[in-house]
Amino acid sequence: MYAFYGRIKSFFSNSSVLKTLIVKNYKSRYANTALGVLWAVLTPLLISFIVYFVFSHITQVSEKNFIAYVISGMLPWLCFAASVQEGAGSLTDNAGLWRQFRVPLEFMPASCVAVNFLNLALGLAVAQVFLLRFSPKGIFLFLLLPVPLALHFFFTLGGALIFSSLSVRRKDTAYFLNVFLLFWLWASPVFYFRDRFPAAIQRIFDFNIICPFLNLYRSIYYENTIFNAKDLFAAGCLAFASFLCGYYFFIKREDELKKAL
Amino acid sequence: MENEIALQIRDVSERYGIDFLINGKVTHEEITAVDKVSFTVKKGECVAMLGANGAGKSTILKLIAGIIKPDAGDVRVEGRVASILDLGAGFDPQLTGRENIFLLAKFYGIAREEIQPKMDQVIAFSGIGKFIDAPLKCYSSGMYVRLAFSLAIHVEPDIILIDDCLAVGDEAFQKKCIEKIFELKNQGKTIIFVTHDAHLVSVLARRGIFVKDGRILHDGPIERAIVCYTQMVGDINGIGILNKDNLSVIFNNGKIYINWRNAPLSKGFGGFAVIRTGQGELFSKDLSWRVELEGMDSLMARATDAEAKVIQAWSLKLAEDNCIDWQIDTAAGAQEKEYFSRINLMLNERFTHWSTLGKEGVFPSQYPSVREWQVLDAQEPDTDGGGIISCRSESPDEAALPGVVLESAKKDDFLVARALITGPEQSARVLSLEAMPATKGNRFSGRIRLFENNQELASYLSFRKAKFIQEHTIQKLGTKLFFDRGRLRLFYKESELTKANCFFGALYAKDRWFSSFDAAWSFKKQDEQTILVSAYWPELKARHAWQVSLVDQFRISWKVVLETEDDLEVLSCRNGIYLSTGYKDWFSSYEEGVFPGEFQWQDMVLENPLRKSVGVKKSGLYPGVALETRESGVNNTVAIQNSDSHYQSRIIYAAAVLPRAVEGFNCPAGRREIFSGVIQLYPSAELVEKYLEVSQKEKLDKELSLQARAIETHTIQKGPIKIIFDAASLRIFYNELEISEGRGIRSVFDVHKINKQLNSDFALWQVDKVSLNRMKCVLRWVDIASISQEWDISIEDNRIDLLLTMTSYDNTDIFNERTGLLLSRNYKQWVTASGEEGEVNYDFSERSKGVALKNNKAGRMHVREFIQQGTVYPAASFSSFLDRQEQVVSLTVDKDNGLGLYFFKVKPREAASKTPGTYVYFKGSVIFKEPEPADKDPEDHLSGHIINLPGLKALDLRFDNGAIKLFWGKKEITKGLGFYTSFCCAGLWHDSSQAIWKKNKICAQSLEVTGTWAWIPVIQSWRIKTEGKKIILDIETEVYREFYLESEEVNLFLTDEYRKWFAGKRRGPFYNEFSQSDLFRFRIWISRVADERMGVEARLFRLPAVSLRPQSIARDAYLVIENANILRDKGRLIQYMRLPDREQALIRPCHYNSFKGVIEVGRI
């Protein structure tokens, strides 16, 4: 336990290495592109807009401020899905880095998650402007964004750590994740309203562990209110549990991973 | 952990689980990569890790780097570790080099403020220039690894781990990397590296760890680790280990390594064989091998080629007394037969001295900085006839080092033993046994012997030396012949009489000398008195086979047979002996002398060609030695030479010139004896003196009898006429009175090929008296071997008949052939067959002088009888039976040779080149009688041809052998030669009348003739046409060889009855003033105006006017009218004369028009 605690401590104390990895990741991602970092913002916004258009103009959803609803759901979801998928392949993609520099293995998935969350933060900041949330309340709520972001981050990191360690030995993990995430997307109120569904389905949503995080983002961008305590508490517990379990799982398999790499 | 320890590995094991997919089934297996490995490395130590691929080296490095955790055991590392295990890993191809370095430097833990200066160093070291700012995906692979390596070694950790990427990039960069490593080493960094480069390892590290199958087999001095590596790493199927007592031999894929008491003796490639093939050399270490162990002490190994055919088989056996029996067989390869070339045994530098049976030396302590191996013995290698070489250490620290002998196991193997040293990369001593180039053996049987100490080794070498001497010596009492590695040495009472090359033989063939000391020797002792030696020249495919026998204590017989495999042309042979400098005096059968003090190649002058022996006189302990020739297939002449300062020897030898074959080669394939002789020893000076005395007397007797015989064999006689051949002269006697002078009869001719004039005076004569009155002589010339003359001289009643024939063996261009009879200067009066006569006087300044003849077409010349004080010089006539159309006569008066009557052959140019064969050079006779008074040759030989001028019925034109004469009725209006052309060359005039003319075309009014001159290479064609009162002339000249032309003339010589002259509008009278000599002319008029009639008129028109008008005048030509006295004829001369400039005097072969113009006859 002490060793585990020490590892977590070193995770935070070696932040410079993580930072370097993040920078490297960022640079690599957007090198040789014309729009560069702008894609970090454009991609999720465009996807959100497409969804909004489809639902509002084709399926005729008439809710007020529907775009805000979609944005506040799509951006976090896309970030989560991308983090988990990229994190899953990060160990095998960066094996050389680990061999040459003995970078802590967990930093590989962590850097992928971190990059995506940075993009999310950027996207949400742009959304703030896009949604014209210039009122003092809107700005105050915007300043609360780091809370859901941090909780969401650790939650995602836990998942990325688990799947990254699984996919070293089992390549099937990547294919499984593709399908699973797609299912989870549709099983989550990302771009549709939960109260449109029968009560029984709504209860399933209550057990969807992504919902509390979505609710936190929605409260800022859609409901324009401060967080719901229940959602906050649930998100906090889920983040904590996910991170710890994910890290523990990862460390336990670390030796095997190193040999496999 | 103690402060000075950088890392410690204790009982570490590592296993990998690998899933094997076999036939669709997955099988999981645990592979042990590292098995209970322990070692410690101190701070600042540089350790090399060696081993085959898959030995576990990289795994150990990963364990040290912390990349993987050991399954068992403990790894402790003190300090920061930088591992260069996977060059280029972590680089992002999308980012530039600079960005990559910047990012990755942080991964290395370099502080922010240190990154920029470090980056500059890295960029500078990598040497990739401006590409540092280009994306990595644009880099070449070389640039990539250079950048990666550059970054890795600038990190400055405490411990550096390098996994087989020490030498990356090009040579210059590799050097930089290695220098950097050295720098880091000097800074006290701990370095552990893996490499397969044995040389690099020995340079960088002092400690080596040899890993095999996950275990450490050796951890200690780098040399031993390298030995383990070189010995044990290779295709496992080609490795075999033999052990017996203290000796252990490892066969590793065509190399053998010897270990003595667990210490390696070999180095580098150990012992390996080199085979010669058609495509070059094949090394045993480069082949693919399979070993079959036959026990603990013997094995068989086979090498196969790409088609799995066995091309080499080795047998190794550890025999008693620390011997390794080593046999190598080569088989016919896939392409060509292979022959064994040499064995090399590479040993380590602990060995300090080497020796063969005859030589000793020291291995240098420094290795020469060259790539090729250096032979330590700069002299000609020993040709041991058995081959043995050894090495040992004389260092007191290496007392335990055994002496090593490499020898041939077969007595008859002719192997050259050599000691060599490699360059610093391999740093090894090499013992080598090489087969003689001429031998084409398929097998090597050798032995490597090890001796516990130097005393045992020395004892063995002494034994071998004694055996060698005994096997190569024949002896009778005090005289001994010892064949010592290519030198046949002669001893008398233990003093060596021979020196330098000792007995030698040589041949001259293919334009150079081939000596026995350059040849491949072989030797056989036939019995206790006789040895057989042969010297083979592969280039000639020929061999000298010597049989040398000790007849008794003072006589050695020596026979030399030449054996040729193919037909060969041998021009000359020599066989002789190089003798000691101690000899001061020489002798031959009839002469004696002293050797000169200085040494330079010099033949002692031996006058008497009849000598049969040459030698040197006793000097101190050295007995006199003489070489006597005996009858053999070839005639040998003995001679004595002093050598140069290099050899410092006296040389007695026999030389023979082999006659050339008429057809084919003079030495067809087969055997022939070329020398047979006896070497006689004279133990006392008196014996030599006695020999000389006897020889002198013999010589005198011989000479006298020879003289008598010579005279008799060289004299023919019949009646009053006698001819004696005497040193290239044929002396003619009439009633015992010598009537000839000088050479008597001689032939002279020019050979174009060698650009020389040859004559019978300096030919090589061979005279054969056929009968009492007939002799035949064969003449050959040194200058040109492809021609010869045969003279058949017979004396009949009052007559000498001569038939000279010339034989040519190839296309030799012979011209200007002349045959002469040289008569005594007492002959004064001469007559030619055409009636010209004169008297000779010798009062002139030149050495010789030609007599000018008007008509040189005579077939006969006579001299009148001369009586002086009762001595009668009979009249004689010299005639030629050759076609008169082809010859001219000439008379020369020579102060040394008297009066020469010559027949000169004039041949058409086409016939100048000869095809091989025989032709009549001259046929004629000398008849001793007075010429008949009216002995004029009929004029049927003259080629006179008459043409009428249509405009002048009274005028006749007669072309008469190179001269045109004009007749007015019956009266000739021309004088002398009339119209003729003339060339002046070397001060002599060559008139057209002296040429040989041929009619080409004859019509009523025209004539075309061609004349070929004798003496000068000129042919002229005259086209003569008449038209009205005109004679139109067109003269073309062809020069077919270079010659110096001083002047050329076209002359119209007319009778002195013409009194007046005219030239254009000018007129004048002739005065009857003529010069006394025909060299000076009385010139009246000279002009350069063309198209002007110049002519003569007679008084009162008694004779028709005659004029000459050239169509044009050449730049260097003149028109002349003068009084002339030509060849004793006085007349009027109208002339067209060309005087070439001095620079143009050399006329090259060409065609040109000499004259084009008109002779007009009749009233102007």
- Mean per-residue pLDDT of chain B: 83
pLDDT at B940 over 60: no
- Mean per-residue pLDDT of chain A: 85
Chains A, B: CB contacts under 8 A, how many?
Answer: 61
Partner-chain contact A96 B17, CB within 8 Å: no
CB interface of A with B, residues 53-112, below 8 Å:
94-103
Mean pLDDT of B604-610: 74
**Model confidence band, residue B256 (pLDDT cutoffs 50, 70, 90):** very high
Q: What is the pLDDT of residues B1061-1095, one digit of tens each?
A: 888 778 888 877 665 554 445 666 677 766 567 78
- Is the C-alpha dihedral spanning B498, B501, B507, B512 positive or negative? negative
Task: Check CB contact of A28 with chain B, cutoff 8 Å.
Answer: yes
Mind giving me the DSSP string for B267-283?
EEEEEEEEEEETTEEEE
In a domain, A4, yes or no: no
Residue written as tokens 């000075």? B4
In a domain, A3, yes or no: no
pLDDT recorded at residue A180: 92
Q: How far apart are CA B905 and CA B818, in angstroms?
A: 6
Closest Cβ opposite residue A100 in set B66, B89, B99: B89
| Position B846, amino acid | E
**Model confidence band, residue B935 (pLDDT cutoffs 50, 70, 90):** very low
Mean pLDDT of B686-710: 73
Count of structural domains within chain A: 1
pLDDT recorded at residue A154: 94
Task: Check CB contact of A3 with chain B, cutoff 8 Å.
Answer: no
Burial B106-116 (b: 16+ CB within 10 A, else e): bbbebeeeebe
Partner-chain contact A98 B67, CB within 8 Å: yes
Strand, coil or helix: what is B108? coil
**Model confidence band, residue B939 (pLDDT cutoffs 50, 70, 90):** very low
Task: Check CB contact of B79 with chain A, cutoff 8 Å.
Answer: no
Mean pLDDT of B186-201: 83
Q: Which positions ≥6 away from A79 have C-beta within 8 Å?
A: A44, A116, A117, A119, A120, A123, A152, A156
Partner-chain contact A259 B16, CB within 8 Å: yes
Mind giving me the DSSP string for B861-875?
EEE--EEETTEEE--
Task: Check CB contact of B1137 with chain A, cutoff 8 Å.
Answer: no
Question: How much is the ipTM here?
Answer: 0.81
Which residue does chain A place closest to B96, by CA atoms? A31
Partner-chain contact A259 B17, CB within 8 Å: yes
In chain A, what residues touch B90 (CB-CB under 8 Å)?
Answer: 94, 96-97, 100-101
Q: How far apart are CA B99 and CA B78, in angstroms?
A: 31
In chain A, what residues touch B85 (CB-CB under 8 Å)?
Answer: 99-100
In chain A, what residues touch B86 (CB-CB under 8 Å)?
Answer: 96, 99-100
Q: Which of A28, A94, A100 to mutate to test the interface with B (most CBs of B within 10 A)?
A: A100
In a domain, A2, yes or no: no
pLDDT recorded at residue A236: 94
Written in H, E and C, the secondary structure of chain A is CHHHHHHHHHHHHCHHHHHHHHHHHHHHHHCCCCCCCHHHHHHHHHHHHHHHHHHHHHCCCCCCCHHHHHHHHHHHHHHHHHHHHHHHHHHHHCHHHHHHHCCCCCHHHHHHHHHHHHHHHHHHHHHHHHCCCCCHHHHHHHHCCHHHHHHHHHHHHHHHHHHHHHHHHCCHHHHHHHHHHHHHHHCCCCCCCHHHCCHHHHHHHHHCCCHHHHHHHHHHHCCCCCCCHHHHHHHHHHHHHHHHHHHHHHHHCHHHHHHHC
Between B291 and B235, whose confidence is greater?
Answer: B291
CB interface of B with A, residues 263-302, below 8 Å:
none
Q: What is the pLDDT of residues A21-49, one digit of tens each?
A: 888 888 888 877 888 878 877 887 788 77
pLDDT at A112 over 80: yes
Q: How far is B151 from chain A (nearest CA, A)?
A: 12
Q: How far apart are CA B275 and CA B336, in angstroms?
A: 12
In chain B, what residues touch A101 (CB-CB under 8 Å)?
Answer: 90, 104, 107-108
**Model confidence band, residue B332 (pLDDT cutoffs 50, 70, 90):** low
pLDDT recorded at residue B88: 66
**Model confidence band, residue B296 (pLDDT cutoffs 50, 70, 90):** confident
Between A9 and A87, whose confidence is greater?
Answer: A87
Mean pLDDT of B169-182: 79
Closest Cβ opposite residue B90 in set A16, A23, A96: A96
Task: Check CB contact of B16 with chain A, cutoff 8 Å.
Answer: yes
Which residue does chain A place closest to B101, by CA atoms? A24
In a domain, A1, yes or no: no
In a domain, A206, yes or no: yes
Between B887 and B498, whose confidence is greater?
Answer: B498
Mean pLDDT of B702-715: 69
Q: Which of B106, B149, B163 to mutate to test the interface with A (most CBs of A within 10 A)?
A: B106
**Model confidence band, residue B867 (pLDDT cutoffs 50, 70, 90):** confident
CA of residue B826 relative to chain centroid, distance: 55
**Model confidence band, residue B923 (pLDDT cutoffs 50, 70, 90):** very high
Mean pLDDT of B1053-1058: 88
Closest Cβ opposite residue B94 in set A31, A95, A96: A31
Task: Check CB contact of A16 with chain B, cutoff 8 Å.
Answer: yes
* Lowest-confidence pick of B90-94, B128-132, B532-536, B981-985: B90-94
Written in H, E and C, the secondary structure of B143-202 is HHHHHHHHHHHCCCCCEEEEECCCCCCCHHHHHHHHHHHHHHHHCCCEEEEECCCHHHHH
Task: Check CB contact of A196 with chain B, cutoff 8 Å.
Answer: no
In chain A, what residues touch B65 (CB-CB under 8 Å)?
Answer: 102
Q: What is the pLDDT of residues A70-93, one digit of tens each?
A: 888 888 999 999 999 999 999 888
CB B1132 within 8 A of CB B1055: yes
Mean pLDDT of B991-1001: 84
Share of chain B above pLDDT 70, in %: 89
pLDDT recorded at residue B765: 84
Task: Check CB contact of B111 with chain A, cutoff 8 Å.
Answer: no
Q: What are phi and psi of B1140, to 5 degrees?
A: -65, 150
In a domain, A225, yes or no: yes
> Under the phi-then-psi rule, with left for phi > 0, alpha for psi from -120 to 50, and beta for the rest, what region is B579?
beta
pLDDT recorded at residue A9: 76
Mean pLDDT of B264-269: 88
pLDDT at B526 over 90: no
pLDDT recorded at residue B1128: 66
Q: What is the pLDDT of residues B34-63, one digit of tens each?
A: 989 999 999 888 999 988 888 888 889 888
Pick from B480, B495, B472, B484: nearest CA to B553: B480
Q: How far apart are CA B62 and CA B81, in angstroms?
A: 11
Task: Check CB contact of B102 with chain A, cutoff 8 Å.
Answer: no
Task: Check CB contact of B21 with chain A, cutoff 8 Å.
Answer: no
* Lowest-confidence pick of A178-187, B76-85, B168-177: B168-177
In chain B, what residues touch A28 (CB-CB under 8 Å)?
Answer: 92, 94-95
Task: Check CB contact of A169 with chain B, cutoff 8 Å.
Answer: no
Task: Check CB contact of B710 with chain A, cutoff 8 Å.
Answer: no
Task: Check CB contact of B95 with chain A, cutoff 8 Å.
Answer: yes
Pick from B1108, B1123, B1014: nearest CA to B1059: B1123
Q: What is the pLDDT of residues B737-796, one digit of tens each?
A: 889 988 899 999 988 777 778 889 888 888 888 888 899 999 988 777 788 899 999 999
pLDDT recorded at residue B819: 93
pLDDT at B1019 over 60: yes
Q: Which of B16, B103, B161 to mutate to test the interface with A (most CBs of A within 10 A)?
A: B103
Q: How far is A212 from chain B (nearest CA, A)?
A: 37
CB A221 within 8 A of CB A71: yes
Domains of chain B: 5-223 (3.40.50.300), 234-468 (2.70.98), 472-695 (2.70.98.10), 717-927 (2.70.98.30), 942-1161 (2.70.98.10)
Partner-chain contact A258 B94, CB within 8 Å: no
Tokens of B459: 């004892």
DSSP code, position B566: S
Helix (H) / strand (E) element for B704: namely helix B685-713
| Position B876, amino acid | A
pLDDT recorded at residue B385: 47
Which residue range forms the structural domain that includes residue A111? 13-260
Pick from B765, B772, B766: nearest CA to B712: B772
